[in-house]
Amino acid sequence: MVDISLFGWLAGPDGRALLARLAAADLRESNTLALLTDLRRDLPPDVAGAALTLARLRQRAADKFSRADALFFTPDALEQASGEAVSGWRARRFAAGGCTRIADLACSVGGDTLALAGLPGVSVVGLDRDALRLHLARANLAAYGRGADLVQADLRDPLPLAGVPAAFFDPARREAGRRVFSVHDYTPPLAVIERWHFRALGVKLSPGVNLDELEPYTRAGAGVEFISHDGDLKEAVLWAGDLGFGGRWASVLAGDGSGATLLPQNIPAPPVDRPRAYLYEPDPAVIRAGLLGELAAELELAMARLDESIAYLTADEAIPSRWARVWPVLDWMPFQLKRLRAALRARGVGRVTVKKRGSAIAPEELIRRLKLDGDGAAAVVVLTRIAGQPGVLICGEPGT
Ligand SMILES: C[S@@+](CC[C@H](N)C(=O)[O-])C[C@H]1O[C@@H](n2cnc3c(N)ncnc32)[C@H](O)[C@@H]1O
């Protein structure tokens, strides 16, 4: 485990040279013994272990950071760090709101500090209670050629921040390595924000946050943004003060970090109806923000829902968009194994991918029981509910 003195060595010239050498090595688990044996020829065991761990964390961090190979993490800190696409998206909201001095509260190793400090004309102060994480944040900012004031502080105490009008707060949502679900169990708990008086505040929450728990804040005018990246729902953000407005909205980011927002307009969800020519699976941020009516309006499509409780939509036309994936519906029926098998065979389908929403059937079990021969056409089988009953759709590949 890396501590401050070990980190100091790793960040120095010898450590950097060693990490560069490790970056080019075979770091798979199966090679651990060979790697450690080699490293321990010249280094004490704790240094060798810390170097190998960091080299592996840097590889893993490439998903989140463009300069991962120069950054410093602990395993937990990497797990908790915001990736560049989402942190950049949020940071631009602060910039668009005219914020020029921003506090990053619970900044850890700087996943968000990096993005905020990268905004032109913005100065950043990061606070965390963990001295090692602040050291790593300083090195990470240097790796990007960026700067911020970093201060060790406990957020439960009065904040040492005079004249800082805007803040981003990312409380820990893990306790002893396990996810916690209630905002009351975050570290520090969400209620700590009630002591603060920022003009603009964004708080990162888990994407599955119980919206009832946010009621004290949303009643006072705060809003909730759900953010997905590359089709994965990443987080919810509570925006209060100048950057908030009532309601829930969805921001959908592409792989390259560019994105767009679907805003609430109080449009009712489409009515329930039988499947039409195309099946739409809204992006998870759109679903979580409850914007099915807004999605139909955005696509200018007469859409229907397959079921009151399920977020699959259907329409007569396919309109490709960032807001939903679309599959052509080849057939559909109430769920019955024999009937499904016969329908697949009649179409010459030999391989299926199974998707499901609102069905208890395990995809692997269904594939086994369908006994398809593996040859022939591929299809997508969608297990769901259709107007309150278990149903199944046979779909082509997206875009076919
Ligand atoms: C989820 S991490 C923040 C991750 C960071 N935004 C990033 O992208 O790298 C939460 C941080 O909260 C800090 N923390 C927890 N309780 C705290 C407290 N009472 N005062 C200050 N920091 C605290 C932890 O040390 C940890 O670094």
What tens digit of pLDDT does each residue of 3-51 get?
888 999 999 999 999 999 999 999 999 999 999 999 999 999 999 999 9
Closest CA to 169 of 229, 216, 125: 125
Q: Name the helix (H) or strand (E) containing 50.
A: helix 45-61
Residue with tokens 């705060």: 222
Give pTM, 2 decimals: 0.94
Phi and psi at 119, nearest 5°, equal -75, 130
Non-local CB neighbours of 95 within 8 Å, separated by 6+ positions? 119, 120, 122
Output DSSP code: residue 277: S
pLDDT, position 9: 92
**Ligand 1 mutation target, pool 65, 108, 152, most atoms within 8 A of CB:** 108
Q: Name the helix (H) or strand (E) containing 10.
A: helix 4-11
Angle (deg, nearest 10), helices 363-370 and 337-346: 60
Instruction: Compute the distance from residue 102 Cα to the ligand 1 centre, in Å.
Output: 16
Q: Name the helix (H) or strand (E) containing 125.
A: strand 123-128
| Regions of the chain short of the pLDDT cut 50 | 400
281 Cβ closer than 6 Å to some ligand 1 atom: no
Instruction: Compute the distance from residue 194 Cα to the ligand 1 centre, in Å.
Output: 18
- The residue whose C-alpha atom lies closest to atom 14 belonging to ligand 1 is 106
Backbone dihedral region of 268: left (phi > 0), alpha (psi from -120 to 50 degrees) or beta? Answer: beta
Instruction: Compute the distance from residue 168 Cα to the ligand 1 centre, in Å.
Output: 11
In single-letter form, the type of residue at position 162 comes to A
Residue with tokens 């590359």: 230
Gyration radius from the chain CA atoms: 25
Residues 396 and 400: their CA atoms lie apart, in Å, by 6
**DSSP string computed for 122-186:** -EEEEEES-HHHHHHHHHHHHHTT---EEEE--TTSPPS-TT--EEEE--B-EETTEE--SGGGS
Instruction: Compute the distance from residue 297 Cα to the ligand 1 centre, in Å.
Output: 40
Instruction: Compute the distance from residue 145 Cα to the ligand 1 centre, in Å.
Output: 23
3-state class (DSSP) for residue 255: coil
Closest CA to 232 of 179, 174, 288: 288
Q: Are 259 and 228 in contact (CB under 8 A)?
A: no
Output DSSP code: residue 227: E
74 Cβ closer than 6 Å to some ligand 1 atom: no
Alpha helices, DSSP H only, in 62-83? 75-80
Q: Residue 192 to residues 1, 189, 235, 246: CA-CA distances in angstroms?
A: 31, 6, 20, 21
106 Cβ closer than 6 Å to some ligand 1 atom: yes
Enumerate the β-bridge partners of residue 332.
393
What ligand 1 atom has the least distance to the C-alpha of 110? Answer: 9
**Ligand 1 mutation target, pool 112, 156, 170, 192, most atoms within 8 A of CB:** 170
pLDDT, position 399: 60
Longest dimension (CA), the chain: 72
Closest CA to 244 of 219, 210, 279, 211: 219
283 Cβ closer than 6 Å to some ligand 1 atom: no
Structure tokens at 272: 């329930």
Enumerate the β-bridge partners of residue 325.
281
Phi and psi at 216, nearest 5°, equal -60, -30
Residues 242 and 98: their CA atoms lie apart, in Å, by 10
Closest CA to 205 of 238, 165, 177: 238
